[in-house]
């Protein structure tokens, strides 16, 4: 894929890059994005799309059927977005909130959020898997990839009520969170603000997707939070051959039951080309990228099965979350060497968008 031509963002410890780590101290969560910072960024006039990645999760097939995320509200909680990037200048940003610096216009002082947005909603040359979604962009990570538990919780709550009028008819259908970190035993027992926000969003039928983490050889034994929470779809990363990335965190699954065992699914996350801020393109690896792919798959699914959107006749309750997670468990494709029915690295397998659509259509 000639990664050096486009610039490289390495997102796992195998690449020996600087990392920021989410941790919990005295009940306060410091949240860091799950990627290793770039070593070089080269401007290029164009960059090819990682076609293999969209094909292996059946997004190409879904798009060919006309399922492109139309009329789906998808939120990205991250570092922001560069709306002037050539791949994102036509993206439909319907809501914006900056919980870091309070700026009123969309921007991205890091680049990570722009990369995730391009995988989901980009246009040429990086055409996203759900390019017609209505985007809700919430900046909770600063230019160092850091945040707080309360800020992430506030970000999720903003996605439930973007106009702040106290009723949630304008809420997101999907929330994509390519961030996370270690959940302490204390946090798991007494709860956190993010946990409360996740449970609130799930009660309104919002599908939440989060990164498993990039612990790799330094794995702490479980996936990252908020992907750790049962209501969230936690995502690991595989390469073009369907092999788990060396950095992708594994689940522990003590007391967890189907369909909530962690991780739930895997998606492309090794050597993926995406946009970056300031008209740049990069090759990146991490569970962040895999999270964006799963979010795009779910948006495509909802455009095919609009009954499950929050405005649909079968949407708006936590039954949607349970149904979608159950069908993900049943339709995801096991990969070579994976334990079945569930694997602590691969989850239930590689997400398959069209198979998920067909299974859900049969239910509504």
The terminus-to-terminus CA distance of the chain in angstroms comes to 41
d(C-alpha 211, C-alpha 30), whole Å? 16
Distance CA 311, CA 72 (A): 10
More confident residue, 169 or 27: 169
**Which letter does DSSP use for residue 350 in this model?**
B
Mean predicted confidence (pLDDT) in 227-254: 95
112-157 pLDDT per residue, tens: 999 999 999 999 888 999 999 999 999 999 998 888 889 999 999 9
Q: Is the dihedral of CA 32, 36, 41, 44 positive or negative?
A: negative
Cα dihedral sign for 121, 29, 199, 161? Answer: negative
Q: Which of 288, 295, 303, 332 is catalytic?
A: 288
pLDDT of 217 reads 61
Structure confidence at residue 183 (pLDDT): 59
Please pick, among 10, 11, 50, 78, the residue that the annotation labels catalytic. 78
Among 174-188, 195-209, 228-242, 301-315, the range scoring the smallest mean pLDDT is 174-188
**pTM of the predicted model as reported, rounded to 2 decimal places:** 0.90
Q: On the CB side of 296, how many CA atoms lie within 13 Å of its CA? A: 32
- The DSSP secondary structure of 239-264, one letter per residue, reads -TTSPBPTT------TT--TT--SS-
Mean of pLDDT values over 352-362: 98
- What would the mean pLDDT of 183-193 be, rounded to a whole number? 63
Which helix (H) or strand (E) segment is 137 a member of?
strand 134-139
Where along the chain do its domains lie? 3-361
Of 11 and 272, the structure prediction assigns the larger pLDDT to 272
Per-residue pLDDT averaged across 61-82, rounded? Answer: 98
d(CA 33, CA 233): 17
Confidence of residue 210 (pLDDT cuts 50, 70, 90): very high
**46 pLDDT higher than 70:** no
**Gap between the Cα atoms of 103 and 46, Å rounded:** 30
User: Catalytic: 310?
Assistant: no
Q: Is 314 a catalytic residue?
A: no
- Report the chain's mean pLDDT, rounded to a whole number: 87
Q: Is 78 part of the annotated catalytic residue set?
A: yes
Catalytic residue among 11, 50, 108, 112: 112
Q: Tell me the fold of 3-361.
A: Rossmann fold (3.40.50)
Residue 15 has pLDDT above 60, yes or no: no
């Amino acid at each position: 894929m000639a990664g050096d031509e486009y610039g490289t963002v390495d997102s796992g410890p195998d690449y020996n890059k600087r990392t920021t780590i989410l941790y919990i101290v005295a009940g306060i969560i410091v949240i860091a994005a799950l990627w290793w910072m770039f070593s070089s960024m080269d401007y290029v006039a164009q960059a090819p799309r990682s076609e293999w990645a969209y094909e292996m999760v059946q997004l190409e097939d879904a798009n060919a059927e006309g399922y492109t995320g139309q009329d789906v509200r998808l939120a990205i909680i991250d570092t922001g977005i560069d709306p002037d990037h050539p791949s994102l200048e036509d993206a439909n940003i319907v809501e914006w909130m900056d919980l870091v610096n309070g700026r009123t216009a969309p921007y991205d002082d890091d680049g990570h959020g722009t990369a995730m947005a391009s995988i989901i909603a980009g246009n040429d040359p990086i055409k996203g898997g759900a390019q017609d979604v209505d985007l809700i962009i919430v900046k909770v990570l600063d230019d160092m990839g850091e945040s707080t538990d309360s800020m992430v919780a506030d970000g999720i709550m903003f996605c439930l009520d973007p106009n702040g009028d106290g009723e949630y008819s304008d809420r997101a259908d999907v929330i994509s969170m390519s961030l996370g970190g270690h959940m302490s035993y204390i946090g798991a027992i007494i709860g956190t603000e993010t946990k409360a926000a996740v449970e609130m969003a799930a009660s309104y039928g919002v599908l939440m997707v989060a990164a498993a983490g990039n612990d790799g050889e330094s794995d702490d034994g479980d996936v990252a939070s908020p992907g750790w929470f049962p209501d969230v779809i936690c995502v690991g990363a595989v390469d073009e051959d369907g092999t788990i990335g060396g950095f992708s965190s594994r689940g522990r699954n003590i007391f967890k039951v189907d369909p909530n065992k962690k991780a739930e699914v895997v998606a492309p996350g090794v050597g993926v080309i995406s946009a970056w801020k300031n008209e740049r393109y990069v090759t990146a690896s991490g569970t962040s990228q895999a999270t964006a792919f799963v979010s795009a798959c779910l948006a495509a699914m909802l455009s095919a099965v609009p009954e499950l959107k929050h405005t649909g006749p079968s949407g708006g309750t936590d039954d949607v979350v349970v149904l979608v997670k159950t069908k993900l468990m049943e339709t995801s494709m096991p990969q070579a060497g994976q334990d079945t029915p569930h694997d602590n690295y691969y989850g239930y397998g590689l997400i398959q968008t069209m198979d998920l659509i067909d299974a859900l259509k049969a239910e509504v």
